[in-house]
Amino acid sequence: MTKHGLPRTCPHCGSSELRFARKGEFPLHYIVLRKFLACKTCGNVFQPSSALTSALLLILLGGPASVGIAATLFSRPSPLKVAIYGPALLFSVAMFYEGCRVLMYWRGRRRQERETR
């Protein structure tokens, strides 16, 4: 990884000659959290992993959603509310948990990279 978190090599051929992909080289139906990269050697276009971005997004969406859904569910519980909001609460808590887990993994990996330098 470079200083900005971009990979140094192409995952397809291992070449270190990378450039940012131009518009039209990657599918437009993707949600772009990070810019696509293109290999100058083999032409492979790929999107680097975005662990930090996705972790923060999951935390920022899952945390408030969990609190809001829990407040709605427990204000006046009924079987219908539990059937509707119960799975949504579990999903939002899982989002928050996964975001925290990925963030801790990312921090540990960054710390390990700094110690090996």
Start-end of H helices in 1-117: 51-75, 79-116
pLDDT digits (tens, 9 = 90+) for 3-31: 455 567 887 888 888 888 877 777 665 55
Instruction: Work out the pLDDT band at 92, boundaries 50, 70, 90.
Output: very high
Could you tell me the CA-to-CA distances from 93 to 36, 40, 60, 66 in Å, in that order?
Answer: 30, 42, 12, 6
What is the structure's pLDDT at 1? 47
Q: Output the CA angle 102-108-109, nearest 5 degrees.
A: 90
In the numeric block, which tokens belong to residue 85? 């909001």
